[in-house]
Structure 1
Amino acid sequence: MSIENYTDLISIAKNEPNPQRLLFVFAKAVLPDDATPEEKAAFEQGEGGALDPILCVDKTPDEAASFATLVAEAETTGHSWDIAFVSAMSGHAGQALNSDECVQPLNMMVEQIRLGKISQFLAMSREGEFIEIY
């Protein structure tokens, strides 16, 4: 089964043999301080820039069943974001991972996003649509 939307993601995660933990990193598109005039113009048109991870959280598929609920929770932090990245971690021998076991992988995910190495993550718009970033 391919993942076409957020509902598919949750459904697949729930049906994995071992319990899944979903890792979310919310990022804001920013313009670097040393941007050229051309880069500034492109950014104003919604292109280019850099991704600044501002929030991260791990959730079980049940805790993240609705993208609207996830967005509402992110909004309570007061941080503005443009893109949500998601990855998954599998439990072991039928046991789910706990949040403590997700700290290092979340930190690694944040660092990968800062470095622009995002191809291994699913990316979603604020509306919950999967997007491709080039």
Structure 2
Amino acid sequence: MSEVPLPSLEVDVPPEGLSIGETARATGLSVDTLRYYERAGLLLDPAPRDGGGRRRYGSADLAWIAGLVMLRETGMGIGDVRRMAELSRTAGTEASRLAVLEQHRERVLADLARTRAHLAALDAKISSYRHAVAEKENA
């Protein structure tokens, strides 16, 4: 299978990788969130450690984290993200990964429809109040 496209981060990663603090800044996550994601099994692999035991994140780690952030920002739950990570660690699970993503896509589309309906209602309210304010100003 060809490589699966992941969101990219505009950051230069040195050969020794980025520290957890640098990774937090690059991804917009907190250090605590990165540690939680690792403990929760959401990363593709645990972050490699340097000689002093400190986490070092490489380009592939950052690409995975960027994809994880995108999924979380679209409302994917921790359980589904964990499932994607588990499946992604095993070759030949592309159909299962596709199913998880397609189910999530349907949820995102439903959320978008609900948000559009709410926006239309909000726009109607705003229009009504603008009209009322304009009438008072013209009276």
TM-score scaled to structure 2, two decimals? 0.27
Higher relative contact order (CA 8 A, sep 6+): 1
- Higher strand fraction (1 or 2): 1
- Higher helix fraction (1 or 2): 2
TM-score scaled to structure 1, two decimals? 0.28
